[in-house]
Amino acid sequence: MAEKIIDHKALFDQMPVIRFLVEYYNDSLSVSAVNKLGLTFFDKPEEKIIGQPLKDLIGEENYHYLSESLMVCLQKKMAVTIPALPALPDLLGEVHPSGFWVNPVYNQDNEVMYLDVIGQPSATDVSVVERERDDALSLLTSIFNASDVGILVFDKKRHVVKMNDSFERIFGWDRKDMLGKDFIDFVTEDEHQLAQQSFEGFLKDDSNHSGEVKIFRKDGTIANTIFTTASLKLSHGRRFQVTTLFDITKRKQMELSLRVAKDQADAANNAKSVFLANMSHELRTPLNAIIGFSEMMVNESFGPLANKKYHEYLNDVFMSATHLLEIINEVLDMSKIESGKIELDERKIDLNTLLQTLTRIMSSRTLKSDISIEEIYQEDLPKIYADPRLLRQIFINLITNSIKYSVDGGVITLQTRLSEKGEIEVVVADHGMGIPSDRIKDAMEPFGQIHDPSTHSEIYQGTGLGLPLAKAMVEMHGGVFALQSVEGEGTTITVSFSKARTR
C-alpha cells in the first residue's frame, strides 16, 4: 500500500474554524500565517495580513484586550482561553467567533516560536454556554486557590463552606477542621463583637467591611490579620460572604518593637534632660562663686596680692571658670530647645540698637586681636517682635565665632537691611579661616567639631554648639538661617526674619 503524505498546509487552510499564527518579534505581535476562514475574519487579502502588526489588523481596543492573554500564553508557556473581543463586530469581517483558544507552539529547544490562535465557533446552543460556564468556574477556582492570602466563604449561618489552600498553609487549619464550623469559634474572644458586627452587616444589606481581627492558628498561637469582606450572590437567592485574611503578625511585632524602642528613647531623653538640669544647677552654683571670688582677687578688691604670680593664676582661674559656665549654659539651652521647653517671651525690639549694644560689650574681645567690626545699619528699619534674650544669644554666638576664626587685623561686617519682600535680614561676615565645603553640614550639627583640636590652637576649641544653637533659636522665631563659607576666605551668615514679625 502506497504511503500517504499528509498535506499539513492544506489541513491548516481548510479548517472549518478561524486559525492564524502569531509571532512575537521586536516587542511586537504580528501575524505569520492565516487560513482561509481567517481571511474572512480579518476581511483583508493574505498579502495585507502576513507580517503585519496584529494591532493594525484588529484595532486598538481589540488589540489591548487580546494582547494581554497572548503575552500570558507566551511568557507562561500555557494555553489560554479568550472570550469574544468587545469591538469585534464594528471592525472586522462577517465571521464573529465566540472566543479564541490560544496554544504555544515550541521549537526543538522548547522555546515558543508561535502562538496558535483558533477561533471558537459562534453558536447559541447549550454546549457553548456550558463551556463558557465551565471555563469561568475553572478560572475562578484557579484564582481562589492561587491567591497568596487566606480566603473563607461563609453561608447565612456563618458556617465555613469553602476555604482556599493559602488559608490552610498560613494558619495551619485543615479543611476538616473548618468546613461546617462557625467562623467566630476561630476568632479570639476580645474580637467576637467585631466579627459579629461584620456578619450582621452582611445579613442586613450585603455591606462590605474591612479591618483588623485576631484569629487562632491551629498550633494555638494568635495571628493578627487584616480582613476584607464581600457578598456573593448565586442563583435561587443563595448568598455567601467571602472574607480575605492577610497575616500581619510580623508587622504588628515590628510596630510593637518600634513603640518599645521609642518609649525607651523618650525615657532616656527625659533622663538626659533631668540630668542636664541637675548638672547645670549643681555646677553653675559653685562656678558662679569661683568666678565672683576670683574676679575680686584679680581686681584686688580687699587689698593687693602678696605675690604677683598669684594674679596670673587667678586670672586663668577666672577665664577657665567663665568658659566652663558658657559651655554649661550652651548645653542646657540646646537641651531645652530639643525638648521644646523654651517659650518665646516676645517684645517689640529695635534690632539696630540691640546689635550696637552687643558690639560695645564685645569690643574688649576685638581689641585683643586688633579686629574691627564694620557696622552697616539700614535706617528706619522696622522693629520686630522677638525674644530679646534669644536674639542677644543668637548674635553673640555669631559675632563670637567670627572673632574666634578671624585673623589678627581682620574686619568683621555686621549689617542690617530690608529685603525686597519686606524681610529683615542681619548679615555677619568675616574673612577668616572659613569652613571646608564638605564640613558645613557637620558645623550645623550639635557638638560638631570642624577643626581638629590637636592641630589648632585652643582658641578654636568649644562645644560645637554655637552655630546649631543660633540656627535653632532663629527657627524658633520662624526665621531662616543661611550659611555660606569658603575655606581660607571666610564665612557669611544671613539671618532672615519674615515680614510678619514687623507688624
Domain ranges, ordered by start, for the chain:
8-143, 147-247, 253-338, 347-502
Q: What number does CATH give the domain 347-502? A: 3.30.565.10
Q: What is the mean pLDDT of the chain?
A: 80
Q: Which residue has the higher pLDDT, 239 or 42?
A: 42
| Contact between residue 194 and residue 214 where contact means Cβ atoms under 8 Å apart | no
The Cα–Cα gap between 83 and 66 comes to 9
pLDDT digits (tens, 9 = 90+) for 136-154: 555 556 666 667 788 888 8
CATH assignment of 253-338, given 1.10.287, 1.10.3470, 1.10.260, 2.60.40? Answer: 1.10.287
- Whether the CA torsion 306, 309, 315, 317 is positive or negative: it is negative
235 pLDDT tier (thresholds 50, 70, 90): low
Report, as an integer, the average pLDDT of 23-45.
89
**Could you give the percent of the chain with pLDDT greater than 70?**
82
| Contact between residue 134 and residue 99 where contact means Cβ atoms under 8 Å apart | no
Report, as an integer, the average pLDDT of 247-264.
87
The two domains 8-143 and 147-247 share their CATH topology (first three levels equal): yes
The Cα–Cα gap between 35 and 372 comes to 97
The Cα–Cα gap between 226 and 252 comes to 11
Cell of 324: 566652663
Residue 89's pLDDT is 47
Q: Which residue has the higher pLDDT, 271 or 71?
A: 71
Residue 481's pLDDT is 93
Lowest mean pLDDT across 39-43, 117-121, 301-305, 449-453? 449-453
Q: Which CATH superfamily is domain 147-247 in?
A: PAS domain (3.30.450.20)
Query: Has residue 355 got a pLDDT over 90?
Result: yes
The Cα–Cα gap between 93 and 87 comes to 12
The DSSP symbol for 438 reads G
Residue 118's pLDDT is 92
Residue 246's pLDDT is 87
Residue 191's pLDDT is 83
Query: Has residue 421 got a pLDDT over 80?
Result: yes
The DSSP symbol for 439 reads G
Residue 91's pLDDT is 46
Residue 458's pLDDT is 46
Residue 90's pLDDT is 45
The DSSP symbol for 121 reads P
Q: Which residue has the higher pLDDT, 503 or 397?
A: 397
In terms of residues, how long is the chain?
503
Cell of 12: 491548516
Cell of 290: 569661683
Report, as an integer, the average pLDDT of 247-272.
84
Which among 381, 364, 392, 486 has a CA at the least distance from the CA of 434? Answer: 486
7 pLDDT tier (thresholds 50, 70, 90): confident
Query: Has residue 122 got a pLDDT over 70?
Result: no
- The fold adopted by the segment(s) 8-143 is Beta-Lactamase (3.30.450)
pTM greater than 0.75: no
The Cα–Cα gap between 135 and 100 comes to 12
425 pLDDT tier (thresholds 50, 70, 90): very high
Query: Has residue 457 got a pLDDT over 50?
Result: no
Query: Has residue 271 got a pLDDT over 70?
Result: yes
The Cα–Cα gap between 184 and 205 comes to 20
pLDDT digits (tens, 9 = 90+) for 384-418: 999 888 898 889 889 888 888 888 888 999 999 99
Cell of 283: 555646677
Report, as an integer, the average pLDDT of 177-203.
83
